[in-house]
Structure 1
Amino acid sequence: MKFKVVEKFVSINGEGTLAGQLAVFIRFAGCNLNCSYCDTSWANKIDVPYELMTNEEIYNYIKSTGVRNITLTGGEPLLQTGILELLKILSNDKELHVEIETNGSVPLDKFLNMKNPPSFTMDYKLPSSNMEDKMLLDNFKYLSAKDTVKFVSGCMEDLEKAKYIIDKYNLINKTHIYISPVFDKINLETIVDFMKDNKMNGVNLQVQLHKIIWNPNERGV
């Protein structure tokens, strides 16, 4: 089995519970969604350049970096043919911490039956994404304390829907919760004021560190 890898690099985690820590990023080609604010849409184009890599080649590259945090991203990594086999190889190495960035439209249950399952950073696509109807609400019951739900918000309607979902599915007591702004679409003060007004204890505001450190359109960072 070979995977279409459009990027592989070492950088810092720009988001989530490991923000600021080194990570190896493996970005796969292709996605089943088309979010209005997607900042990696180039990776989803049919003619995107890619490198074909086997399970073993990906694992060997990861080990060669000496970095223990692994982020599988895309595109949508869980749609890759053979991804379960790759996850089993990675899970057998107890030195690695594997995180998967997934868009919320792919069932998670079949990826949990392994000795050392990955952690998921799962999006819930809010109204401004134009993809909310693709969300699989059943996924919430498979999340645990090591996982994260990310709400990318670009307007007040998004924030209100995020709060509704957080409350309805009791996410605060289940997993990590992050609200992330759509870059250049909403003021950070607006999000903080909304969190204050609604007493959103246990919710984290995050900014994308990589877009602060480097040019927001820079790749491989």
Structure 2
Amino acid sequence: MAKFQVVEKFVSINGEGQSAGALAVFIRLRGCNLACSYCDTRWACTDDAEAVEMTEGEIIDYVKSTGVTRVTLTGGEPLLAKSIDVLLQAFAQCSDLALEIETNGSISIAKYASMEHAPSFTLDYKLAGSGMEQYMDVSNFALLQPKDTVKFVCSSVDELDRVCEIVDQYRISEKCRVLISPVFGSIEPADMVDYLILHQRNDIRLQLQLHKFIWDPNKRGV
């Protein structure tokens, strides 16, 4: 059996994505290859972050013990985990569970998107305000399916021009849902709505991070 470094596991609602507001079991794995300026889980990204070692079987058992059928695998960057394919195959064999992977856009999803009973992906494209845009793997856009989501976290209204450029260049909204979110506290959501109206972007949706409004924005385990 493989071993995975789990820094957090809990039941809450999905704060964003296509299943926003729905119950989900969160499995957060340790480590990330990026260092976004606005990262709100930096504590989980270091190699020495406190974690519990769990096998794929133990993770599946925990998920099933909750009675919740949606699973969000997140990080950090979960696709960096050693033997991640073992964990994904284990989930693929559980027909009663729906797995979503939150990935930072720098790792190819090709190997996993072609799996039988493949998970859904929420691919977070990092804009210039993150300081990480140069690491984005745009080849992922060709692999998107309707169950997937591309999310852009915006630090300023000016970044919305870049969002539209990318969405149009790769015809993303023809393949899956496109979401924009504000960096919490850095940009007014109302300004983002005004932009969508002005530019008639019927194909892009604004989404706020629900968990940051329900609980303290810095609270873990929600």
| TM tier, smaller | over 0.9
**C-alpha displacement of 1:133:** 0.2
Equivalent residue for 1:159? 160
Equivalent residue for 2:6? 5
2:66 paired with 1:60:
no
Equivalent residue for 2:102? 101
SS in 2 for 1:202: coil
| Mapped partners of 1:7, 1:103: distance in 2 | 18
Equivalent residue for 2:179? 178
2:198 paired with 1:193:
no
CA contact (8 A) 1:148 1:176 kept: yes
TM-score (normalizing by structure 2): 0.98
| Mapped partners of 1:185, 1:20: distance in 2 | 23
| Mapped partners of 1:21, 1:78: distance in 2 | 23
Equivalent residue for 2:143? 142
SS in 1 for 2:9: strand
Equivalent residue for 1:44? 45
Question: What are structure 2's unaligned runs of at least 5 residues?
Answer: none
Equivalent residue for 1:126? 127
2:89 paired with 1:88:
yes
The residue identity in structure 2 corresponding to 1:8 is K
TM-score (normalizing by structure 1): 0.98
**C-alpha displacement of 1:122:** 0.2
| Mapped partners of 2:107, 2:74: distance in 1 | 13
Size of the aligned set, in residue pairs, is: 221
After superposition, the C-alpha distances for 1:75-105 in whole angstroms (9 at most, x for unaligned) are 0000101111111110111111100000000
**C-alpha displacement of 1:58:** 0.4
Percent identity between the two aligned chains: 52
| Mapped partners of 1:112, 1:14: distance in 2 | 23
| Mapped partners of 1:174, 1:3: distance in 2 | 32
After superposition, the C-alpha distances for 1:89-127 in whole angstroms (9 at most, x for unaligned) are 101111111000000000010112322000000011001
| Mapped partners of 1:46, 1:17: distance in 2 | 30
CA contact (8 A) 1:35 1:130 kept: yes
CA contact (8 A) 1:92 1:115 kept: no
The residue identity in structure 1 corresponding to 2:20 is A
Bigger CA drift: 38-47 or 123-132? 38-47
SS in 2 for 1:31: coil
| Mapped partners of 1:192, 1:53: distance in 2 | 43
What is the RMSD computed on CA atoms of the aligned residues? Answer: 0.7
After superposition, the C-alpha distances for 1:140-189 in whole angstroms (9 at most, x for unaligned) are 00011010000000112311111110111111111110000000000011
| Mapped partners of 2:115, 2:105: distance in 1 | 20
SS in 2 for 1:177: strand
Question: What are structure 1's unaligned runs of at least 5 residues?
Answer: none
CA contact (8 A) 1:120 1:147 kept: yes
**C-alpha displacement of 1:16:** 1.0
Kindly report structure 1 stretches of 4+ aligned residues shifted beyond 3 Å: none
| Mapped partners of 2:52, 2:202: distance in 1 | 43
CA contact (8 A) 1:127 1:157 kept: no
After superposition, the C-alpha distances for 1:2-48 in whole angstroms (9 at most, x for unaligned) are 11100000000000111110000000010000000000001012331
